[in-house]
Structure 1
Amino acid sequence: MTEDSAYPYPRPDSPPLLSPEDAETTLNVWLVPKFSMLTLFCLLEPLRVANRFGRKLFAWRLLSADGQPVIASNGVRIDVSGAIGELGTEPPGQTWHRNSVTRLMVVSSWEAEATVTAEDRAVLRRLAAHGAWLGGLDTAPFILARAGVLDGSRVAMHWESVPAFRQEFPSIKISTARFEWHGDRLTGAGGAASIDMMLMWIEQRYGPSLAEMVGRQIVHHRSIDEPSGRQLPTDSRLPRAVVRALAVMEANLAQPLSIPELCRLAGQSQRQLTRHFQTWFRETPRQTYLGMRLDLAQRILADSHVSVTEAAMAAGFGHLATFSRAYRQRFGEPPSVTARRGQSSPGW
């Protein structure tokens, strides 16, 4: 029996954190300012744990657009190893990976495009032209799509970003899965879904046994088929009529229904439904419905380059003045201010 085989579980003093030169596979990770730390940890920890089982499997490089440290959305400063522009430009014999495929995962969250330049998008296009494996988590599919490297791909992302993405890229198919692997493009909702994504990658490269052991080691139950779309409240105490009403509202944001029609579809009288909503949400069905539509408009304005008028129409508002007044009341600022933040990408 060899020293390694004597340990059915990983030894506490292994692994090594591997350098790209030593690992079989290297994942480059582009951190965009205000990225989600949770997503980064869930992306890397399965790879680190996989290394504990006796083989030098995975390494990773953290990168930024300019090679400088990046501040996450929680305020933590993360040092990086280089700039994304360096990828694919190493002299022969000095590559950062053992095989010829460059793998780059983009991790972003808040204001994904605020710091992304035309030069950054050009890097993504150059990598794609040379057959790179490209991925994006949370809001990063916006960055990849605006670079033109997601055409023909099926895309998964955080549910909050779906309305804005659909508005800006109507030709790209959006999946309800937690992540999607389509050819050499990998996209996902971010957060804990990144663990499932990496476990699938480990399984594809090294088999189900290793993926299972890594999942057990990090105390994670895989839920590959669980959709990443926004889930309606499932509290068993909620009256069924309330759950039905919320579902009807969600399905009819762009073309809002009248409250009597909503009540009819929910199978409840208006008086009874109003009583339920006031009990559970302290507002009327009309107020809840209006808030959902305004939230949709806010997500579209914050995450895309559409105009205020387009966002209002997507949320079912026919009169811009009515929309602007309700929006300011809910969010404390006019929609034009939110729109300017969404359109603040330099070089666009």
Structure 2
Amino acid sequence: MSENTRTDWPYPRPEQPPVPKPGDAAHTVNVWLVPNFSMLTLFCLLEPLRVANRFGRALFAWRLLSADGDPVVASNGVRIEVEGVLAEHALGDLLMVISSYEAEVSVTSAERAVLRHVAAHGGRVGGLDTGPFILARAGLLDQHRVALHWESVPAFRAEFPHIAVSEARFEFAGQRLTGSGGAAGIDMMLQWIEHDYGPALANAVGRQLVHQRVSEEEAWKAGAARTLEDLPRSVVRALAVMETHLDQVLSIPEICRLIGQSQRQLTRLFMAHFGETPKQCYLGMRLDYARRLLADSRCRVTEAALTSGFVHLAHFSRVYQARFGERPSATAERGTV
């Protein structure tokens, strides 16, 4: 018996799943693609909806939008055609903003006004990956818990200290949806499907996507277990100390004292696992932190330098350019356009 003729399958599964047009489905999702968006995030958002249509009739339609109606180039260089202009097709069951690198480069006050218009008319608005920055700058995330990509959390907290940042992969409550991007979009859409059509359909879609739904606690424990298995405990502890002292830099001997490990042994372990000394790794963590601040927020170069533990601006600029191939001011300019 072929899989398509199984009698125990809870939902029909036609050979050609319906791809309804907006207006012909129970729900329409408008997706605003911001230049350099993540293709993976887009696919993970749409595929659960497509599969849900395959099992449960024409439930979901979607429409890809850009600010001007022109095609949008993703972060992997692929050019994606869109079906409309944001300002003309924003209203619907959900307007989802998908962005990734340099989210603010092409976003204007006019687009932020469109987001506010949708929210003012009771529309559900969401953002994935760095999309929450765009929503927050439009004033739409006050009083909401926000989930976003972990790399962007420091910059988001620096720019929006009054907004609570969630440790979850996504937050789906009320009229605001936010998430970290990538596979988190699958779980977000499965929750929507479960909320409106029940767990049987959501689980069937998850099985078809070969996606195992796990709780956030289970995912965190699995990740922590893999980390402990892959790295010696002293290395994990040293990294944790470094991570919590990015602004007030500790010396390597002080870190060794705190974790109870000799500097010689710690250096040997870092070289074996990372190919870098503890000092080099610590410097890289601070520079990566500074880059996230400059790229994802409106942080000034001097502020980013001090926040990542650099006292001398000239030294910061020199090591920053050596690591990233551009001056910190160039990164900051892209983040504030």
How far apart are 1:237 and its partner, in Å? 4.3
Q: 1:261 aligns with which of 254, 278, 299?
A: 254
Question: Does residue 1:188 correspond to 2:190, yes or no?
Answer: no
Question: Does residue 1:169 correspond to 2:160, yes or no?
Answer: yes
Instruction: Give 1:41's aligned residue.
Output: 43
Instruction: Give 2:233's aligned residue.
Output: 240
Question: Does residue 1:138 correspond to 2:140, yes or no?
Answer: no
How far apart are 1:7 and its partner, in Å? 6.0
Question: Does residue 1:212 correspond to 2:206, yes or no?
Answer: no
How far apart are 1:224 and its partner, in Å? 3.9
How far apart are 1:13 and its partner, in Å? 1.7
Cα distance per residue 1:58-90 (max 9 Å; x no partner): 11111111122211112222221211111367x
Instruction: Give 1:109's aligned residue.
Output: 100
Q: Secondary structure at the match of 1:236?
A: helix
Structure 2 gaps of 5+ residues are none
Instruction: Give 2:30's aligned residue.
Output: 28
Q: Percent identity?
A: 67
TM-score by length of 1: 0.89
The amino acid that maps onto 1:42 is: C
Cα distance per residue 1:237-288 (max 9 Å; x no partner): 4221111111111122122222222112222111211121122222221111
TM-score by length of 2: 0.92
Contact kept? 2:193, 2:201, Cα under 8 Å = yes
Cα distance per residue 1:81-137 (max 9 Å; x no partner): 211111367xxxxxxxxxxx6410001111111111111111111111111100000
The amino acid that maps onto 1:196 is: D
Cα distance per residue 1:162-220 (max 9 Å; x no partner): 11111111111111110012321000000011111111111111111110000001111
Cα distance 1:88–1:234, how it changes in 2: closer, same or farther (>3 A)?
A: closer
How far apart are 1:319 and its partner, in Å? 2.1
Cα distance per residue 1:26-55 (max 9 Å; x no partner): 111111111111101000000000011142
Cα distance 1:233–1:277, how it changes in 2: closer, same or farther (>3 A)?
A: farther
Q: Secondary structure at the match of 1:174?
A: coil
Question: Does residue 1:289 correspond to 2:288, yes or no?
Answer: no
Instruction: Give 1:157's aligned residue.
Output: 148
CA distance, structure 2, for counterparts of residue 171 and residue 318 of structure 1: 27
Q: Secondary structure at the match of 1:34?
A: coil
The amino acid that maps onto 1:167 is: A
The amino acid that maps onto 2:48 is: P
Q: Secondary structure at the match of 2:126?
A: strand
Instruction: Give 1:74's aligned residue.
Output: 76
The amino acid that maps onto 2:95 is: L
Question: Does residue 1:202 correspond to 2:193, yes or no?
Answer: yes
Cα distance 1:132–1:11, how it changes in 2: closer, same or farther (>3 A)?
A: closer
Instruction: Give 1:84's aligned residue.
Output: 86
The amino acid that maps onto 1:33 is: P
Contact kept? 1:232, 1:246, Cα under 8 Å = no
CA distance, structure 2, for counterparts of residue 120 and residue 47 of structure 1: 26
Greater percentage in helix: 2
Number of positions where the alignment pairs a residue of Structure 1 with one of Structure 2: 330
Cα distance 1:336–1:272, how it changes in 2: closer, same or farther (>3 A)?
A: same
Q: CA RMSD in A?
A: 2.3
Deviates more, 1:117-126 or 1:236-245: 236-245
Instruction: Give 1:249's aligned residue.
Output: 242
Deviates more, 1:292-301 or 1:13-22: 13-22
Structure 1 gaps of 5+ residues are 90-100
Instruction: Give 1:337's aligned residue.
Output: 330
Deviates more, 1:306-315 or 1:253-262: 253-262
Instruction: Give 1:58's aligned residue.
Output: 60
